[in-house]
Amino acid sequence: MPHLAASRALLPLVLLGCAGGLPGPKMPTPLARSDAGAIAPWVAETTDTMPREASFRWSYLDGRTEGGAKGRGSFVIVAPDSLRFDFRGPLNSGAGAAFVVGDSAVWALPEEDVQKLVPNYPLLWAMLGRARAPMQGDQVQSATSRDVTAWRYVRGADTVEYLISRTGTRQLVADVRSGGERIGRVLTTFDGEGRLSSARLDIPSRPARLDLTFYRHGVPDSLPASLWARPDLDAP
């Protein structure tokens, strides 16, 4: 009964979407008019001048495959905004990779698999603990308190929201909407040393959910040119 099993796997995601409940702290209201200079220190708080790398375990659930999909992956980030992101399934099956600069992919292989996992690059950056700066022309809104810093970019009916919570465990929330419809929402949690611990992406429109659990953090020993080269995923 594969269809029944898939439906059962999908049910928690459907119920979550119907309830309107997504995990993590909520955006405070109202937000006041702000500007890029005012929120620049908050964006900088999520970035690093040193190259960083980490490995992660991932799981993806959309109700189409019994038990969902699982695997491992890794990333390397080089300031200011270059990212190499790799993932693979069990026994190195279903491998994929992307080279991202800012909010655009230089290449992504297979492109449809990368888009399936993460439909928007600001969401991917948020899963790796990074907030993006506003684009020229964005309206900026913000609010801050002792425990919460929140800001929003508005461009017509498109919005990108960020929230940093310092209540207990430090968390970063990102919420991206296009034409008023939510593309996805990220909740990223850090450990006591400020390193990535876990990240969760909810995609209500499918519905689907991607979870990352991070381990083996570090600084790359080197940054060879091959790091940014398009890989041959069919090579043994």
Query: pLDDT tens, 23-59?
Result: 899 999 999 999 999 999 999 999 999 999 999 999 9
**pLDDT band of 219, cuts 50, 70, 90:** very high
Which tokens in the block code for residue 119? 């439909």
pLDDT above 80: residue 103:
yes
Question: What is d(CA 79, CA 19) in angstroms, rounded to the nearest whole number?
Answer: 39
CATH of 2-219, one of 3.40.50, 2.40.70, 2.50.20, 1.20.1290: 2.50.20
Question: What is d(CA 183, CA 201) in angstroms, rounded to the nearest whole number?
Answer: 10
pLDDT of residue 63: 75
Q: Is the peptide bond before 110 cis (omega within 30 degrees of 0)?
A: yes
pLDDT of residue 10: 44
Which tokens in the block code for residue 17? 């979407």
pLDDT in tens, 183-205: 999 999 999 999 999 999 999 98
Tell me the domain boundaries of the chain. 2-219
pLDDT of residue 123: 98
pLDDT of residue 2: 39
Distance of CA 219 to the CA centre of its chain: 20
Work out the mean pLDDT of the chain and round it to a whole number. Answer: 90
CB contact at 8 A, 165 and 25: yes
Question: What is d(CA 140, CA 26) in angstroms, rounded to the nearest whole number?
Answer: 18
Sign of CA dihedral 103, 26, 15, 154: negative
